[in-house]
Structure 1
Amino acid sequence: MYNVAHIGIVVKDMDKSLEFYTTVLGCALEESYQDERVHLAFIKAGQQTIELIQYQEDSVKVRGAGIVDHIAFAVTDIAAEMDKLRQHNVTLLFDQPKVVSGKKILFFAGPDDERLEFVQSL
């Protein structure tokens, strides 16, 4: 079995996305790279790495991006995290956390409408 190295998410505005992931979600920027076709930012979310990818306009036409359904973040207090999301005017995909298989879950939208999730074990 392989360990996940990172999850790649295509974003429209790197600055806006970095601000969201670092300020709202508390991720830390590890490294970034930019050339004439792409801007990459690797951010740390706990033990996982997320790669934010902003393609230059011409590169998008050459290579279409795949779809990532969602990224889930483990939290210890989903109610407090939900309050933080509301303070930052983040779109919640449902009003209250749901309980599923002994966990509370809450889906919300990132700056490019990517689906993100908080998971709290009960």
Structure 2
Amino acid sequence: MVEVAHIGVVVTNADKSLNFYTRVLGCQVEDTYQDERIRLVFIKSGQQTIELIQYKEDPAGARGAGRVDHIAFAVTDLEVELDKLRQHNVTLLFDQPKVVGNKKIMFFAGPDGERLEFVQKI
């Protein structure tokens, strides 16, 4: 069996995205890399790593869009986390959290419109 090493998300402004993921979501910087064509910032969310990818010349990337639909973050208290998002004027994608089986969920938008999700087991 293979294990996920990280999830890569193309962003238009690594600094703006890094600020969002660290200040709003509480992620921590793990590593960085930069050369003349790309800037990479690896951030930790629990045991998982997210790679923020900023292409310096073509932010959309010549390869086109990927197929990742969203990134979900496990939370213990959805309402507390939603209050934090509201304080930072983050766009929520539902009016109210939804119950799906034994979970409460809420989708929201990241700085580049990437779909993110909070999941709370109930």
TM range (shorter): over 0.9
Aligned length: 122
Q: CA contact under 8 A between 2:107 and 2:117: conserved in structure 1?
A: yes
Unaligned runs of 5+ in 2: none
Q: Name the residue aligned to 2:43.
A: 43
Where in structure 1 are there 5+ consecutive unaligned residues? none
Letter in 2 for 1:81: E
Cα contact 1:37–1:58 (8 A) shared by 2: no
Q: Which runs of 4+ in 1 moved over 2 A?
A: 58-65
What's the TM-score, normalizing by structure 2? 0.94
Higher helix share: 1
Q: Secondary structure at the match of 1:57?
A: coil
Determine the C-alpha separation between the residues in 2 that align with 1:4 and 1:77.
26
Tell me the residue number matched to 1:110.
110
- The TM-score with structure 1 as length reference comes to 0.94
User: Match of 1:81?
Assistant: 81
Contact 2:11/2:59 (<8 A) preserved = no
Q: Deviation of residue 106 (structure 1)? A: 0.4
Distance change in 2, residues 1:81/1:64 (3 Å): same
> Could you tell me how far apart the structure 2 residues matched to 1:80 and 1:59 are?
34
